[in-house]
Structure 1
Amino acid sequence: MERTETRSLREAVAATREPEHEIDPLFVNRWSAYAMTGEPLPESEYLPLFEAARWAPSSRNSQPWRFAYAARGDEAWETFRGFVNDSNRRWADDAAVLAVLFSTTTGDDGRSLSSHSFDAGAAWENLALEGTRRGLVVHPMGGFDHEAASDALDAPDDYVAEVMVAIGERASPDTLPDDLRDHEEPNGRKPLDAVVTRGGF
């Protein structure tokens, strides 16, 4: 599978997506594939994704996100795998890394952070774009046991489990169950004027 940075739309993306304005292809190339090889990744392949997340913007530079992860082969792998619901486990079992993204509702100064989820989302996007640049699958999922993840990973009371992320080497769609294989392509987006208005709604 392609594992190098690209400055053009990847073939599968170009077939289903067309931006309305000129932007860097990296943004359009990002999509949430399912098929992964199940092979482990060296730290040098996935830690840069978390490094990219580290540089996301945040309110008052609070950096309220926290990623907890397990790599395939880690003692904690089965613990993280157990958080994932049955539907997502059908494909997430083939990830090389499973991570839980948490955000804290309280800043270091003790003040509440109303934008903690927004800021954590910025960190997620940085992580996803770096994974895309490297040709990896980076797939977020809300279908997991948030409470179990918080409890098992000893998250402080003011931390919220936002999302889980599966990271892995891209595999052929033929490795997926039939119903997922039918959806293994980049989806489109609403037209720009459906989500952006000059003035009010």
Structure 2
Amino acid sequence: MTAEDYTVEVPASKPAQTSVPVHPLLAERWSPRAMDPSTTLSDEQFTALFEAARWAPSWGNTQPARYIAARRGEPAFDRIHGTLSRGNKGWTSNAAALAIGVAQLVDDDGEPLPYGEYGVALATQNLVLQAVAEGLYGHQMAGFDRDAVRAEFGVPAEFEPVVAVAVGGLGTLAGMPERLQEKELRPRIRKPLAELVFTDWGRPRF
């Protein structure tokens, strides 16, 4: 079987099955691991990811999100890749770009800065949705070595690595382990709203 035979196996779209319509950027966002090694990001596309992140809301406009980022082929890409868990190293080499989201935890006066990780989460969701708008895919990861990131990139003690992100184009299942192939083909599911939104605790709003 050729690589071309595999291309139909990874769905280009896994639209969310929602109770009411939501914006297509939200409905179409999903997190594939099968990434196309030929996809590259232009300077403008790469910059736009972090411009989108920059304009995320944050507590008191403290803007706690920082990123270490590189495109495939740049030295820092391989350095970021080296900090990922073994399972994530197996597929992220095909990403067009990798990034580590870092939260500022202490302000310039040495005082604790609240909601730093929350700020990184908001900024990174902006980044991923910008990728979707560009016809790309983003996959956020907890599987990386925070101490390795600190050592490799000189992250100061008042900052905390929070999340790794891979961005790229959709690839094929060729060469992927069977367990990852199953994840790529698995339907997207979420808990129903009745389990998530209440009028009183445990009393569904919807």
Instruction: Give your verdict on TM over 0.5.
Output: yes
3-state SS in 1 of match to 2:66: strand
Provide the rounded CA distance (Å) in 2 between the counterparts of 1:175 and 1:197: 45
Provide the rounded CA distance (Å) in 2 between the counterparts of 1:78 and 1:183: 25
**Aligned residue for 2:166?**
166
Letter in 1 for 2:36: T
3-state SS in 1 of match to 2:160: strand
Provide the rounded CA distance (Å) in 1 between the counterparts of 2:85 and 2:195: 33
Identity %: 33
Q: How many residues get paired?
A: 190
Deviation at 1:199, TM superposition (A): 2.7
**How big is each residue's C-alpha offset from its partner over 1:128-170, in whole Å with a ceiling of 9 and x where there is no partner?**
1111111212111111111110121111111000011111122
**Aligned residue for 1:7?**
none
**Aligned residue for 1:84?**
84
- Contact between 1:85 and 1:144, CA under 8 Å: does it hold in 2? yes
**Aligned residue for 1:189?**
190
Letter in 2 for 1:179: R
Q: 5 Å matches for 1:114-193?
A: 114-174=114-174, 176-185=176-185, 187-193=188-194
1:46 aligns to 2:42 (yes or no): no
Larger-Rg structure:
2
- Contact between 1:64 and 1:104, CA under 8 Å: does it hold in 2? yes
Deviation at 1:110, TM superposition (A): 4.1
**Aligned residue for 2:6?**
none
**Aligned residue for 1:24?**
23
- List alignment gaps of at least 5 residues for structure 1: 1-9
- Contact between 1:64 and 1:107, CA under 8 Å: does it hold in 2? no
- Contact between 1:35 and 1:175, CA under 8 Å: does it hold in 2? no
Greater shift in the superposed pair: 65-74 or 54-63: 65-74
Deviation at 1:193, TM superposition (A): 1.4
Provide the rounded CA distance (Å) in 1 between the counterparts of 2:21 and 2:108: 40
3-state SS in 2 of match to 1:69: strand
Alpha-carbon RMSD across the aligned residues, in angstroms, is: 1.8
Provide the rounded CA distance (Å) in 1 between the counterparts of 2:112 and 2:36: 42
Letter in 2 for 1:194: E
Deviation at 1:59, TM superposition (A): 0.4
Letter in 2 for 1:106: V
What TM-score, normalized to structure 1?
0.87
